[in-house]
């Protein structure tokens, strides 16, 4: 302290003029005043928020929100709501005035009541404009409001989501059981399995990356600062479980009777193409040419492409053999239930939130769901209509000349494409 005073207030023998001393003292006083004044004005950054970020209310329902202010300001602020769709939701009051204080308390917490009123179904984002600027980080002061027709429809939609999640998760096991029972995978197309395991591997990479990686999450939120993480824990579980169940089925292909079945050259070419895309984009990500989030997006696009084509080899194989033997109809039933409930859920949500634009605008999700349903119906027609007389299971260890083969139906059948005896599977 003595050294500082010597510098600021030199003795008369130093030869420094009094005017210089006054000027120096004035500068230091101004700097001190700035440092004293800045905290009361700018320490409030990120000290204001809405107590609810995502809100769901009914039409004609009112919900009490709270604008939370931590600390006082040395000036009066006006916080005005900027509503994306004023025909959907209304805030009362639309502007909150926060009076300034001559002696700001930086730790006090003050709340201001705001009523949200649902006018019509839909989704609306609400941001806030604070004047004068520079006092509040506006990224922390926003909310999303969803106005809906009925809570009951919302609950039904939620239940449907878990039902089709369960149906899709269980759908892998009828095929595994049939393979185990027959000790044979004859009739199960290997191209379908190869595409399926790659598709679910890509889907697992996408889900795990966005759910577990903080770096990738930061990349996502930098592009969508007010968005929500599109991947939930059930998405991670489903994709990993689906890849695991498909690997079990592939393992069965190595230990059970498979005749001369293998992945076709066309299937290998498609897998090679997708694999090349993955390797190239991963290298670009490692070289920081593209962000890892973009790499995950490419993985998700591969999954979508595989979903569009993976059923074609199995359907064509059934057509060639004129039989669905070895292909589980239980898998198809569960897949159909899951796909049907998924589209029904989308329909209920579109009605409940008056969001038909998103329903028809999400062509990928709707198109893939509808495409899967069409194939499920086609497989049912193959099984129950086109080739209903050929629903027989190959009896392991029997030759085509055996006459004592077990049968579930009234008579043994000889598959014309494989010249093998099958046991009926009603």
- For 101-232, where are the alpha helices, taking DSSP H only? 151-170, 173-182, 190-212, 214-223
pTM here? Answer: 0.71
120 and 170 assigned to the same domain = no
64 and 183 assigned to the same domain = no
Taking only the tens place, the pLDDT of each residue in 94-117 is 999 888 887 877 788 888 899 999
pLDDT average, residue stretch 272-288: 95
Final residue in a domain of this structure, among 118, 148, 178: 148
- Give 393's pLDDT tier (boundaries 50, 70, 90): very low
278 and 340 assigned to the same domain = yes
pLDDT number for residue 405: 41
Per-chain mean pLDDT for the chain = 80
312 and 239 assigned to the same domain = yes
CATH number of the CATH domain containing 120: 2.60.40.10
Final residue in a domain of this structure, among 106, 123, 148: 148
Query: Exposure pattern of 346-368 as b/e (b: 16+ CB <10 Å)?
Result: bebbbbbbbbeeebeeeeeebeb
- Give 361's pLDDT tier (boundaries 50, 70, 90): low
114 and 213 assigned to the same domain = no
237 and 265 assigned to the same domain = yes
346 and 264 assigned to the same domain = yes
- Cβ–Cβ < 8 Å for 371, 194: no
- Number of domains making up the chain: 2
pLDDT average, residue stretch 15-19: 45
For 324, residues 6+ apart whose C-beta sits below 8 A from its C-beta are: 187, 318, 379, 382, 383, 387, 390, 391
348 and 388 assigned to the same domain = yes
Token couple for 189: 């197309």
Final residue in a domain of this structure, among 103, 122, 148: 148
- Cβ–Cβ < 8 Å for 84, 175: no
208 and 230 assigned to the same domain = yes
pLDDT average, residue stretch 357-365: 60
Cα–Cα distance, 186 to 256 (Å, whole number): 9
- Decide if 326 is inside a domain: yes
Share of the chain above pLDDT 90, in %: 49
360 and 260 assigned to the same domain = yes
Cα–Cα distance, 274 to 297 (Å, whole number): 13
* Per-residue pLDDT at 358 exceeds 80: no
Give the range of the structural domain holding residue 73, as residue numbers without chain letter: 48-148
């Amino acid at each position: 302290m003595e050294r500082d005073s010597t510098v600021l207030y030199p003795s008369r023998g130093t030869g420094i003029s009094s005017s210089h001393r006054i000027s120096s003292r004035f500068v230091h006083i101004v700097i001190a005043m700035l440092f004293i004044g800045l905290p009361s004005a700018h320490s409030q950054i990120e000290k204001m928020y809405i107590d609810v970020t995502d809100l769901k209310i009914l039409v004609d329902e009112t919900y009490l929100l709270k604008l939370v202010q931590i600390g006082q300001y040395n000036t009066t602020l006006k916080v005005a709501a900027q509503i994306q769709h004023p025909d959907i939701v209304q805030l009362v009051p639309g502007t909150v005035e926060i009076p300034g204080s001559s002696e700001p308390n930086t730790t006090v917490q003050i709340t201001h009541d705001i009523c949200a009123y649902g006018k019509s179904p839909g989704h609306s984002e609400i941001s806030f404009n604070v004047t004068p600027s520079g006092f509040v980080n506006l990224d922390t002061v926003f909310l999303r409001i969803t106005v809906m027709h009925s809570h009951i429809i919302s609950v039904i939609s939620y239940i449907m989501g878990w039902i089709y999640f369960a149906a899709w998760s269980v759908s892998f096991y009828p095929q595994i059981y049939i393979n185990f029972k027959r000790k044979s995978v004859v009739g199960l197309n290997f191209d379908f399995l190869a595409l399926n395991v790659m598709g679910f591997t890509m889907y697992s990479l996408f889900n795990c990356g966005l759910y577990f990686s903080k770096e990738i999450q930061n990349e996502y939120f930098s592009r969508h600062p007010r968005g929500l993480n599109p991947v939930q824990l059930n998405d991670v579980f489903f994709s990993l479980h689906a890849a695991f169940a498909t690997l079990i089925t592939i393992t069965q292909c190595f230990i059970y009777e498979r005749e001369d079945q293998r992945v076709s050259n066309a299937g290998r070419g498609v897998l090679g193409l997708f694999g090349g895309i993955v390797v190239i984009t991963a290298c670009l990500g490692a070289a920081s040419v593209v962000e890892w989030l973009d790499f995950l997006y490419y993985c998700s696009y591969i999954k979508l492409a595989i979903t569009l084509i993976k059923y074609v080899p199995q359907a064509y194989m059934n057509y060639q053999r004129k039989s669905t033997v070895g292909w589980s109809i239980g898998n198809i039933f569960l897949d159909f239930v899951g796909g049907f409930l998924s589209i029904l859920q989308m329909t209920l949500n579109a009605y409940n939130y008056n969001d038909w634009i998103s329903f028809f605008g999400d062509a990928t999700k709707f198109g893939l769901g509808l495409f899967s349903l069409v194939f499920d119906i086609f497989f049912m027609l193959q099984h129950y209509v086109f080739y209903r007389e050929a629903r027989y299971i190959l009896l392991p260890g029997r030759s085509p000349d055996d006459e004592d083969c077990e049968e579930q139906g009234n008579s043994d059948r000889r598959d014309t494409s494989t010249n093998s005896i099958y046991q009926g599977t009603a």
